Amino acid sequence: MARGQQLFDWLLRLGDNAIVLSHRLAEWCGHGPILEEDLAVTNVSLDLIGQGRLWLSYAAELEGKGRGEDQLAYLRDAGEYRNLLLLEQPNGDYAHTMARQLYFDVWHYYLLRGLTGSRDTRIAEIAEKSLKEVTYHVGRSSEWVITLGDGTSDSHDRMRAAIDDLWMYTGEMFEMDPLEVRMVQDGISVDLAALREPWLARIRSTLEQATLDVPEGSWAQRGGKRGIHTEHLGFLLAEMQFLQRAYPNASW
């Protein structure tokens, strides 16, 4: 496979992670538990849209087939999406939304920190920009998990259930498939397997303060990075892409 094609495929992983999670968070718009939180969670969504646009624009440029960020976001079907399975999982209650966010934010933080040293300067620049925003996200999701975990008995039980339910999707974040290996060899990316230790340390410390245990299961559900998704992604894209599918090339 040509090198440009590999980089394109790999950039889709970064871009799709941001876009898919951004869409999930945007689903809270107008439905947040309190007004302030409605605004806050949609602002995190906004950060992720911005980051997703930067990654997908770069991917589209490299591809050189005349596609842009919009074509990549709105006109690819589920099988062509490369996001982590964790991020397409439904919002559930606020505990589930925040457990998903904590797992991702901490991983995202360590990944971006590594990517600031990428040999590809464009990637390093996008990572450096995103890292500032994601640092704030980590603080936010950590505080929520602690607040809910160390809260009432109902919020504690819900937070525990969410942490347990989503645990099996975390293993995929550290998966080193041939494409990731190639990116490390080329000096583009970092060894994802090596992110597990700092990730787990931060998760453990947060869960301890939240009076919750780190789940024990080691079985990991995977496939998203290769385009094999859970049934939820299709529904998400149906909503996200409806306008472009119904009215091709519509813009405003």
Partner 1 sequence: MPVGEFVNTAVDQPDIKQIWTWLSEVPDPEIPVISVVDLGIVREVTREGDELVVAVTPTYSGCPATEVISRDIEHALRGHGVEKFRLETRLSPPWTTDWISDEGRRRLADYGIAPPPSDGVHEVHIDVGSVGRMPQPVECPRCGSKNTQRVSQFGSTPCKAHYKCRDCLEPFDFFKRL
First-last CA distance in the chain:
37
State which residue, 50 or 234, has the beta carbon closest to partner 1.
50
Q: Which is nearer to partner 1, 78 or 131 (CB)?
A: 131
Q: Which is nearer to partner 1, 135 or 221 (CB)?
A: 135
Contacts for 1 with CB less than 8 Å, ≥ 6 apart: none
Contact status, residue 56 vs residue 9, Cβ threshold 8 Å: no
Q: Within 10 Å of residue 10's Cβ, how many Cβ atoms?
A: 22
Locate 105 and state its tokens: 């934010």
Q: Is 140 in the site for partner 1 (CB under 8 A)?
A: yes
DSSP strand E in the chain: where? Answer: none
Q: Is 200 in the site for partner 1 (CB under 8 A)?
A: no
Could you say which of 61, 93, 133, 191 contacts partner 1 (CB under 8 A)? 133
What is the per-residue binding string for partner 1 in 148-187, x denoting contact by CB under 8 A?
----------------------------------------
* Amino acid, res. 109: Y
Query: How near is the Cβ of 92 to partner 1 at its closest, in Å?
Result: 21
Query: Per rule CB under 8 A, is residue 146 in the interface with partner 1?
Result: yes
Query: Residue 242 in 3-state DSSP?
Result: helix
Kindly state the number of chain residues that form the binding site for partner 1, as judged by CB under 8 A.
40
Nearer to partner 1, 25 or 233 (CB): 25
* Interaction of residue 142 with partner 1, rule CB under 8 A: yes
Nearest to 148 by CA among 160, 134, 132: 160
Contacts of 20 (CB under 8 A, 6+ apart): 81, 83, 87, 88, 233, 236
Minimum CB distance to partner 1, residue 200 (Å)? 11
Contact letters for partner 1, residues 37-56 (x by CB under 8 A): x-xx--xx-xxxxxx-xx--
| Closer by beta carbon to partner 1, 56 or else 85 | 56
State yes or no: residue 132 binds partner 1 (CB under 8 A). Answer: yes
Using the rule CB under 8 A, is 206 a contact of partner 1?
yes
CA–CA separation, 48 and 67 (whole Å): 21
Rounded to whole angstroms, the Cα distance separating 70 from 90 reads 23
SS3 at position 9: helix
Residue choice 91, 135, 155, 230 for contact with partner 1 (CB under 8 A): 135
Cα distances (Å, whole numbers) of residue 242 to 24, 78, 214: 15, 13, 39
Residues in the chain: 252
| Chosen residue from 11, 72, 86, 138 binding partner 1 by CB under 8 A | 138
Separation of alpha carbons 143 and 102, rounded Å: 9
Contact residues for partner 1 (CB under 8 A)? 36-37, 39-40, 43-44, 46-51, 53-54, 106, 109, 113, 121, 124-126, 128-133, 135-136, 138-140, 142-143, 146, 201-202, 205-206, 209
